[in-house]
Amino acid sequence: MQDFAGVWRLERRIEDQRAGQVAHATGQAMLSAEGAGLIYEETVLLHLPGQAPLEGRRRYLWRAAARGIAVLFDDGRDFHVIPLGNGAPEAAHWCDPDQYDVRYDFSAWPQWSSVWDVCGPRKDYRMETGYERLPEA
């Protein structure tokens, strides 16, 4: 898990079927040590069609798990587990009433990506994010 520590440039594409639009985001994710795990902190600039850019932030806790990396919301609630050790890690999260499914790709490490497919009565989108490690200052 410590291999993820550092600063990552990220580029994101969000294809929102319900809104009929594609949004883009660019920014950084910083994974820093906290106890036996990491804190994931993301800051992005989100570009929605026809609107001024919006700043977005996310924060998650990453902890070692028997099957890989447990990703928790910043308040400690379970989100999902990134199952390491196989070629195409997948995970899921049910957030009533919507289903969140993710696939990770670490095959071009240290570049990696995630693809979230979110479906339900409130949401219908695909979010693709690519990560590239930034050099240490």
pLDDT tens for residues 76-134? Answer: 999 999 999 877 899 999 999 999 999 999 999 999 999 999 999 999 999 999 999 99
Q: What pLDDT score was predicted for residue 80? A: 97
Containing domain of residue 23, as a range? 2-133
pTM for the model: 0.94
Rounded Cα–Cα distance for residues 133 and 36 (Å): 22
Total domains in the fold of the chain: 1
Give which of 127, 122, 78, 77 is closest to 101, Cα–Cα.
Answer: 127
- pLDDT at 88 (0 to 100): 81
Q: What is the pLDDT of residues 51-65, one digit of tens each?
A: 999 999 999 999 999
Look at residue 73 and tell me whether its pLDDT is greater than 90: yes
pLDDT tens track for 7-41: 999 999 999 999 999 999 999 999 999 988 999 99
pLDDT of residue 1: 85
DSSP assignment of 15-58 equals EETTTTEEEEEEEEEEEEEETTEEEEEEEEEEE-TTS--EEEEE
What is the CATH number for 28? 2.40.128.20
pLDDT of residue 87: 72
